[in-house]
Amino acid sequence: MTTAASALFTHVPPYAGDPILSLMESFQADTRADKVSLSIGVYFDNAGRLPMLPSVRRAETALLSNIGPRPYLPIEGMAAYRSAVQTLLLGAEHEAVTGGRVATLQTLGGSGALKVGADFLHRYYPESNVWVSDPTWENHHAMFAGAGLKVDTYPYYDPATGGLRFDAMLAKLRTLPRHSVVLLHACCHNPTGVDLSDAQWQELIPVLRDGGLIPFVDIAYQGFGDGLVEDTFALRAMADAGLQFLIANSFSKNFSMYGERCGGLSVVCADRATTEAVLGQLKATVRANYSTPPTHGARVIERVLNDAELFAMWTAETAEMRGRIRAMREQLHAALNAIFQGRHNVDYLLSQRGMFSYTGLNKTQVAQLRDDHAVYLVGSGRLCVSGLTTDNVEHVARAMAAVME
């Protein structure tokens, strides 16, 4: 006679769902014809479609005719991809790059870079907390906490102005213990769209340096702010000032290649020997997680970044996406102003940059937008500007006005 095994896993609680990704599922299940997704940080074109960039198509077509076998990549990823990442972030001529002071890994998107970086920091700075902006991308909290770091916040967004609490931010960072990790967004802050000006970065850098802090810079929207090079101002200024820091970069948005999971983790170190040791330990971290990165997306991106003609095409494509995002900011601003006639100030739409704006709408208003008007924002009030089109912007403006007045 056999005895039934006692039930396992019955204590596992149900997953509440991710605050951003679960909205995509609700949106897809919504049958209303006029539904608008302004939740997930994905760039859509003016027809509401996910673009396939011509530079990517051309690189991929060339690869397909010569696809070849797929050996394991090295743990750290493809060499040509990794050096292209350094060039894109810091410039090929930067002394940190030419001096061999940057350890770069190919990672599974920007998220993979954050996770590997968080594991590495927790191992070598186990006493350090990580400080993130208030607010930040929800998953920053989950990732750093998941890697064992305690997560705290520094002041950032000012709901009264829709801008930055720069003095309060600096004041807080000045009080942090040495070797505290400070998570920063290089451009196109997620979720607020509120960025530091170049002058503010220059003021922040001595605070980071003099406080012995460890900056970890997330750059997931390069090219969507002011330009591919302009958006790296903070990275280059930090490297120029001799800071040692980590960079997590993503190609999901600027290549419109979300599912290929391509990104990079770069650690700017003091000298070549330290860089080699750091790269080695980053490899050990990857090996113990997912072993080695995948090939296809990295091959495509490497080809675009390292071919002058394809790179020029891609630069123009990012400019077009950036231009459309700006145009939609202006159109939503104009449509709301036409309705409000001065009753509400929505100038934040113009001062904030990149894919996101923080509308200040509360959870109830966000729920009303979804339930009554089929307009999906994230619960925090974050609006993804690149989900707006010339066809839906008036509907969105009317819906926002209906829940605000």
263 near ligand LMR, rule: CB under 6 A? no
Q: How far is the CB of 365 from ligand LMR (least distance, A)?
A: 19
What is the enclosing helix (H) or strand (E) of 184? strand 181-185
Q: How far is the CB of 48 from ligand LMR (least distance, A)?
A: 17
Tokens coding 47: 């027809």
Q: Closest-CB residue for ligand LMR?
A: 41
Phi, psi of 228 (to 5 degrees): -60, -40
Q: How far apart, in whole angstroms, are the C-alpha atoms of residue 228 and residue 223?
A: 4
Q: Smallest Cα–Cα separation from 114: which of 79, 82, 145, 73?
A: 145
Q: Smallest Cα–Cα separation from 97: which of 213, 236, 249?
A: 236
Longest distance between any two alpha carbons in the chain, whole Å:
80
Active-site hit among 218, 231, 283, 314:
218
190 near ligand LMR, rule: CB under 6 A? yes
Question: Per-residue x/- marks for ligand LMR, 75-94, CB under 6 A?
Answer: --------------------
Residue closer to ligand LMR (CB basis): 41 or 193:
41
Q: What is the DSSP string of 133-151?
A: EES--HHHHHHHHHTT--E
Q: How far is the CB of 325 from ligand LMR (least distance, A)?
A: 14
Active-site hit among 115, 253, 283, 314:
253
Residue closer to ligand LMR (CB basis): 40 or 267:
40
Number of residues that bind ligand LMR (CB under 6 A): 6
Q: Quote helix, strand, coil % in the chain, to nearest 5.
A: 45, 15, 40
Residue closer to ligand LMR (CB basis): 41 or 264:
41
112 near ligand LMR, rule: CB under 6 A? no
What 3-state class would DSSP assign to 264?
Answer: strand
In angstroms, the Cα distances linking 260 to 164, 177, 255 are 34, 38, 10
CB 331 within 8 A of CB 369: no
Q: How far is the CB of 259 from ligand LMR (least distance, A)?
A: 12
Residue closer to ligand LMR (CB basis): 192 or 392:
192
Site for ligand LMR in 23-52 (CB under 6 A): 40-41
Residue closer to ligand LMR (CB basis): 201 or 221:
221
Helix axes 296-306, 308-340, angle to 10 degrees: 100
Give 197: exposed, middle or buried? Use CB within 10 Å, 0-12, 13-18, 19+. exposed
Is 218 catalytic? The answer is yes
Q: How far is the CB of 366 from ligand LMR (least distance, A)?
A: 15
Q: How far apart, in whole angstroms, are the C-alpha atoms of residue 178 and residue 44?
A: 42
Q: How far apart, in whole angstroms, are the C-alpha atoms of residue 198 and residue 57?
A: 35
Tokens coding 252: 């999901």
Residue closer to ligand LMR (CB basis): 137 or 251:
137
Cβ neighbours of residue 368 closer than 8 Å, sequence gap 6 or more: 402, 403
Phi, psi of 135 (to 5 degrees): -95, 175
Is 137 catalytic? The answer is yes
Is 307 catalytic? The answer is no
Residue closer to ligand LMR (CB basis): 107 or 190:
190
Active-site hit among 131, 137, 201, 314:
137
Distance between start and end Cα atoms, the chain: 70
Residue closer to ligand LMR (CB basis): 41 or 135:
41
Q: How far is the CB of 140 from ligand LMR (least distance, A)?
A: 10
Q: How far is the CB of 111 from ligand LMR (least distance, A)?
A: 7
The only residue of 20, 23, 85, 204 in contact with ligand LMR, by rule CB under 6 A: 20
The only residue of 81, 137, 156, 201 in contact with ligand LMR, by rule CB under 6 A: 137
In angstroms, the Cα distances linking 137 to 22, 106, 193, 261 are 15, 22, 11, 18
Report, as residue numbers or ranges, the catalytic residues: 137, 218, 253
Rule CB under 6 A: which residues touch ligand LMR? 20, 40-41, 137, 139, 190
